[in-house]
């Protein structure tokens, strides 16, 4: 197992490029189940989660090959339909094969998912919706076992906003008989990217980017080539890294239309953000940042996937900030690790009260999930001495060459074996 050893105190300067979005790539890759033939998906980050999904697709007789950040996929028109526990347990997004398997192959056996330990993320909304569309679904021995004749269009009302639920039903609906309307749909940019890919395959979808999506089912689709959107969370994480070090970094490939709330909040802390063009942003800061309160919300609110990184920033800001997590009930596990580095944080219900300190000190810390690992790396950039971040397999699930990118900007980070 590997760890990162970070020597703090280095200012980040230079230029860096944002990778493609993991959270957009995964459903788009899963959607290739819907149609036989060959696909070319570009701008895909070479990440552990992506490779896990490709292994799963190979079990479903869809042959993948990686060439840089381009994936070639050949759907061989087989009838395999099982997503086994050994793969699904490591990545919750594996549930995304359920909808397209039912829509195309009329049956599915998908292990109940795992992934980051950030709280309950039940799939009951997925199951309820697919049952409404005519699927017969049971939970047997830890698996979702489902079958159907052709799915039927239905009015789907989500009790709460669910990104993967919206994506699963969207993929199921494009081959269903008749009209499906999804109410209280997620409007995240990654959902829009999936919908645009499905439309390129020949799907008929209206209301993309709104809370009500209407899908008119078609009899068949065609393979398509597609370029995945850039990763908005990676872009924002790089902004936090530049800001905490008092750096001056030009970030290329920033999906600016997706990050308005983040830009506003970083500006509130004293970070300078200059928009060079519609895809390039310069982030700089001088002097100590100011504390700012944050409440995570569904898109377009402040993203829960940036909460931990922003908290690292607030650990050394001037003043007291209150960070409230409304999406996941167990997403403060990084707090204990940040406190090991000298942060002054007090938890109260679903909020963290952060009293900014003058400086952090390097320590051995352990990543509990993907975004927590990024926050510990960010904190380590300004901590005195060395910070050892263990269990970085979480980081590698969602950030492509993150340590290499930071090193290119002047950070001093080594990847070593024997992490805890």
Question: What is the residue-wise DSSP string for 169-210?
Answer: HHHHHTTSBSEEEEES----HHHHHHHHHHHHTT-EEE-TTS
Do the annotations mark residue 125 as ligand-binding? yes
Q: Is 160 exposed, middle or buried (0-12, 13-18, 19+ CB in 10 A)?
A: exposed
Collapsing DSSP states into helix, strand and coil, what is residue 124? helix
Token pair listed for 34? 């819907």
Dist CA 200 CA 194 (whole Å): 10
CB of 213 within 8 A of CB of 185?
Answer: yes
Bridge partners of 62, per DSSP, are 75
Terminal alpha carbon distance of the chain:
7
Do the annotations mark residue 152 as ligand-binding? no
Do the annotations mark residue 300 as ligand-binding? no
Single out the catalytic residue among 35, 116, 148, 315: 116
Do the annotations mark residue 305 as ligand-binding? yes
Do the annotations mark residue 378 as ligand-binding? no
Do the annotations mark residue 29 as ligand-binding? no
Token pair listed for 196? 């645009």
CB of 98 within 8 A of CB of 131?
Answer: no
Token pair listed for 103? 């829509």
Do the annotations mark residue 124 as ligand-binding? yes
Do the annotations mark residue 121 as ligand-binding? yes
Catalytic-residue membership of 240: no
Do the annotations mark residue 23 as ligand-binding? yes
Do the annotations mark residue 327 as ligand-binding? yes
Which residues fall in the annotated binding site?
A: 22-23, 92, 121-125, 305, 327
Write out the binding residues for UDP-N-acetyl-alpha-D-glucosamine.
92, 121-125, 305, 327
Residues annotated in a binding site for phosphoenolpyruvate: 22-23
Enumerate the active-site residues.
116
């Amino acid at each position: 197992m590997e760890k990162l050893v970070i020597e703090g105190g280095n200012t980040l300067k230079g230029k860096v490029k944002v990778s493609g979005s993991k959270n957009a790539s995964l459903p788009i890759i899963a959607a290739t189940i819907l149609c036989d033939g060959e696909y070319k998906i570009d701008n895909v980050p070479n990440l552990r989660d992506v490779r896990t999904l490709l292994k799963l697709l190979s079990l479903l007789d869809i042959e993948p090959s990686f060439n840089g950040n381009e994936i070639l996929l050949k759907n061989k028109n087989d009838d395999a339909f099982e997503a086994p526990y050994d793969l699904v347990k490591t990545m919750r997004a594996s549930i995304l094969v359920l909808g397209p398997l039912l829509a195309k192959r009329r049956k599915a056996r998908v292990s109940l998912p795992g992934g980051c330990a950030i709280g309950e993320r039940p799939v009951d909304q997925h199951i309820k919706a697919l049952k409404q569309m005519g699927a017969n679904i049971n939970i047997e021995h830890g698996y979702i076992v489902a079958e159907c004749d052709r799915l039927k269009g239905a009015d789907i009302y989500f009790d709460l906003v669910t990104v993967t639920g919206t994506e699963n039903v969207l993929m199921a609906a494009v081959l269903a008989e008749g009209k499906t309307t999804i109410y209280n749909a997620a409007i995240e940019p990654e959902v829009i990217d999936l919908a645009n890919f499905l439309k390129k395959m020949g799907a008929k979808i209206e209301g993309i980017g709104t809370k009500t999506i209407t899908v008119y089912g078609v009899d068949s689709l065609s393979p398509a080539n597609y370029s995945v959107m850039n990763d908005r969370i990676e872009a924002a994480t790089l902004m936090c890294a530049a800001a905490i070090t008092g750096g001056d970094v030009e970030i290329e490939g920033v999906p600016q239309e997706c990050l308005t709330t983040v830009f506003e909040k970083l500006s509130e802390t004293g970070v300078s953000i200059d928009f060079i063009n519609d895809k390039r942003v310069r982030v700089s800061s001088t002097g100590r940042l100011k504390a700012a309160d944050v409440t995570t919300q569904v898109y377009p609110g402040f993203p829960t996937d940036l909460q931990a990184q922003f908290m690292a920033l607030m650990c050394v800001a001037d003043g007291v900030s209150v960070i409230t997590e409304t999406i996941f009930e167990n997403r403060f596990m990084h707090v204990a690790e940040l406190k090991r580095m000298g942060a002054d944080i007090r938890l109260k219900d679903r909020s963290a009260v952060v009293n900014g300190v003058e400086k952090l000190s390097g320590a051995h810390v352990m990543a509990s999930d993907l975004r927590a690992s990024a926050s510990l790396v960010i904190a380590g950039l300004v901590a005195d001495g060395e910070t050892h971040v263990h269990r970085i397999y979480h980081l590698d699930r969602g950030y492509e060459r993150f340590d290499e990118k930071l090193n290119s900007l002047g950070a001093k980070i080594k990847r070593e074996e024997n992490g805890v």
